[in-house]
Structure 1
Amino acid sequence: MHRVAILGAGGAGKTVLAHKLGDLLGVPVIHLDELRYDASWNVVSEEEFFAAQRKVVAGARWVVDGNGSASLPIRAAAADTIIVLDPHPLVCLAGIILRGLRYGGGQHPGGVYVRVNCEFLHYVVSYRRKTLPKVLRVLDEHAGHATVLHLTSRRSANRLIRELDDAERGHQ
């Protein structure tokens, strides 16, 4: 597990898992929000966004968290492991609320730019029904070489971290 892409709805826990994996594996963590927005949090052009991702995934080791359906083939083709976080939408909404309470608006230290509006909440609630099937089709097309882990709860994500940590300790 050297090149990991983490996908999922807002509030699913992508950033938290990315930081845990990055620490455990000793690899850099890149948040797509950092590539999608400039220093003033204005959206960059698609060309710039795609080029930045190509540069990141050309590296030997990384964890990238975030969505971006149009550019998913870039990450999917380069990743050796893809983790799809798919907790119940209510879990995602709770994650968004807790993040908002903890950090307020703007960027929080984990790399996410907090911007909650009705469109975003609709996206989160409908992710499983509308977006996830499209994501899985892209993965089928571009990530046949990769291990795809479809985790449907925070418990399963925490179990993955524990298992990897135990495996790391066993190799030392």
Structure 2
Amino acid sequence: MQYRCSPSSAAAPAAAGALAAGQTRPFHEVNVEEGVELSVRIEGFGWSSALLVGGGGGGGAFTARLKLRDSRGRRLYLTARVNMSNTDAVMVCVSAAYWLVNRSGVPLVFRAEGAGGEAAGQGAEHELARAVAPLLFSFAGADAAPTLAARLGTARHHNAQVPPRRPMLTSVMAKTGK
């Protein structure tokens, strides 16, 4: 995940970089008493909406939603949990509501039930069951039913370990001799 952080009044970022999943990084290039705008970007998406943190006032905690859009304009909402201490330290944790991992080898394309289009971040690799990274997923509407719908992709990537047009269960049973 890439990030950029700048004082509310400045146009150029004062701090920017990249973080791996689970990694933390302290930086002291910005003054949180003045207020800081934080934006993030993940692979396949543009920069998120700005999150305003700091600006004086002591400790506290809040949660906000960061909106990102993929190349097709589909939305993904990430959750930002912000904890501010009395010593002007600010900790921001960014996470996705759901991670969808397809290990079946069957090409699956996901969408929220009742939504008009597919979930953000899905491309041709999902149509072919070639996606290896987890799909970050969020429900766009708070009032929408939290139900996930899946459809079969348009094609199947043939894996050398499983012969095409042969059920996976049959292949496993043939190898074990049962």
What is the TM-score when the length of structure 1 is the normalising length?
A: 0.21
Which of the pair is proportionally richer in helix? Answer: 1
In our comparison, the structure showing a higher alpha carbon Rg is 2
What is the TM-score when the length of structure 2 is the normalising length?
A: 0.20
Bigger relative CO (Cα 8 Å, ≥ 6 apart): 1
